[in-house]
Amino acid sequence: MRTRLVREAIETIRRQVRDGTFSADADVAEAVRSLAEQRLAEVTSVFYRRVVNAAGIILHTGLGRAPLAGRVLAQIADQMGGYTLLQVDLDQAQRSPRDGRIEQLLILLTGAEAAAVVNNNAAATALVLNALAAGKEVIVSRGQLVEIGGAFRLPEVMAFSGAKLVEVGTTNKTHLRDYENAITENTAAILRVHPSNYKIQGFTSEVPLPELVTLAHANGLLLFDDVGAGSLIDFSRFGFDKEPTLIESVAAGADVVTASGDKLIGASQAGLILGRAALIQKIRKNQFARIVRAGKLTLAALEATLTLFLDEAAALEHVPTLRLMLRPAEQIARQAERICQTVQSACPDATITLQAGWSQIGSGSLPGQNLPTTLVAVSSPHQSAAALANRLRHCPTWVFTRIADERVLIDPRTLLDDDEVILTQALIQVLKAGVSQ
């Protein structure tokens, strides 16, 4: 590998000599060595590193969505260093489904008859449509034809799955009769999609899930519900707007429910599929299920996280996503105050103020629900906000912030464990670096 890096460096220097960009009095051997060393440092550094999320977006797609709970990590670390039980039936020494354990947990937690796990929710949706509706029509409201970050676009997922999309209603209003009028002998299902990352407000209406279930079943159709964020806890108890939970969707009679594992469940990236036993069996037998199956790391993280939900208090205490959502406002305000004081006393010429603001859940979960927070706004007479934010991203532990009105905004809500110390040190360092220029 080192020889290859040196050869690469020699090639680069040769090119520079040919184009005349290599300075005539520079030492060629030294230039090659320095270039090769720089590349070596790059390739040996960790890319999937720990960073500080001071942007206040809890499920930040660019920063890996849900951080895993410490307990979950401890369990996985112990398991993954050795052979692990994955696909053996202890009594018969035969293969059992690798997600059988997760299925048991999901049945307990949601009341579903059966369940399966795949790579992510996009795969879950495509798999369900292919296994249960390929070559048939599936009715979707125009208000629910969503695009979700990372290029999940419902019409395209449907086309890929082989199901035929039948759009009904309008962007803002869809009525039960719109669905009713679209049913033909070729219809297999009605699909409800939780609009996740946006909200239609004003003159709007969507048909409630129980009414869609009744209509589907009266016509011999299936009802698929893509819940998206996949909450197992009703957050309206804590003052959030009412959002569908997996439990409610199952109870309303949806035949198949799909959700992400790394949104409001706060586990690893996964697609959860809940449903009636005969349908889940059909889904498991579909070739696509093998193509998008989950790996052992994913399953181990899911098992450990879902186990926490068996005791809701434990989930609320240990699952970072939930803990950050429910952080008390006063606790965030105190932390903002501490950061402000520490940085201000080290950097007296910086302007550091506290201001009321909003955190976001992110990843299209609980759209439109902004969480009140206290922001630390930082500006420097020596450098622009963009330069400050850029320097913060290049500190030894990368720090991610927001910028508004020429100020860097720090939202303490998404700081975990030792992040506060790392953040204040990074801020002091970059503010001072600006002065010395």
Query: CA nearest 166: which of 143, 132, 130, 137?
Result: 137
Which residues are within 8 A (CB) of 364 and not within 5 positions of it... i.e. 6 or more apart? 148, 149, 196, 197, 198, 228, 229, 263
- For 261-284, give one letter per residue: b (16+ CB within 10 A) or e: bbbbbbbbbbbbbbbbeebbeebb
Distance, in Å, from the CA atom of 434 to the CA atom of 350, rounded to the nearest integer, reads 10
* Phi/psi at 418 (5° precision): -95, 15
Contact call for residue 364 and ligand PLP (CB under 6 A): yes
What is the distance between the alpha carbons of residues 160 and 285, in angstroms, rounded to a whole number? 19
Residue located via tokens 């079943």: 217
Instruction: Determine contact, residues 252/190, Cβ cutoff 8 Å.
Output: no
Nearer to ligand PLP, 267 or 340 (CB): 267
How far apart CA 418 and CA 422 sit, in angstroms, is 7
Taking CB under 6 A as the binding criterion, the range among 41-49, 130-138, 144-152, 248-256 that sits at the site for ligand PLP is 144-152
Q: Is 226 in the site for ligand PLP (CB under 6 A)?
A: yes
Pick one of 152, 224, 309, 400: the residue that binds ligand PLP (CB under 6 A): 152
CB 57 within 8 A of CB 65: no
Our CB check for ligand PLP shows the closer of 153 and 290 to be 153
Residue whose C-alpha is closest to residue 398's, from 158, 60, 32 = 60
Q: Amino acid letter at 118?
A: V
Q: Which is nearer to ligand PLP, 67 or 228 (CB)?
A: 228
Whether 232 and 111 have beta carbons less than 8 Å apart is answered as no
For the chain, what is the radius of gyration of the CA atoms? 26
Shortest Cβ 116–ligand PLP spacing (Å): 14
Question: Which residue sits closest to ligand PLP, CB atoms considered?
Answer: 228
Of positions 193, 216, 254, 395, contacts ligand PLP by CB under 6 A = 193
Taking CB under 6 A as the rule, does residue 362 contact ligand PLP? Answer: no
- Cβ-based nearer residue to ligand PLP, 164 or 194: 194
Residue 365 per-residue DSSP state: S
Contact pattern from residue 250 through residue 269 relative to ligand PLP, giving x for each residue in contact according to CB under 6 A and a dash for the rest: ----------x---------
Per CB under 6 A, the segment of 81-89, 119-127, 180-188, 325-333 that binds ligand PLP is 119-127
The interface with ligand PLP within residues 263-302 (CB under 6 A) comprises 271
Q: Does 120 bind ligand PLP (CB under 6 A)?
A: yes
Of 156 and 311, the one with the shorter C-beta distance to ligand PLP is 156
Q: Which stretch binds ligand PLP (CB under 6 A): 115-123, 243-251, 318-326, 387-395?
A: 115-123
Among 67, 169, 228, 357, binds ligand PLP (CB under 6 A): 228
CB of 144 to ligand PLP, least distance (A): 9
Sole window of 69-77, 96-104, 117-125, 373-381 interacting with ligand PLP (rule: CB under 6 A): 117-125
148 binds ligand PLP (CB under 6 A): yes
- Which residues are at the interface with ligand PLP (CB under 6 A)? 120-122, 148, 150, 152, 193-194, 196, 226, 228-229, 260, 271, 364
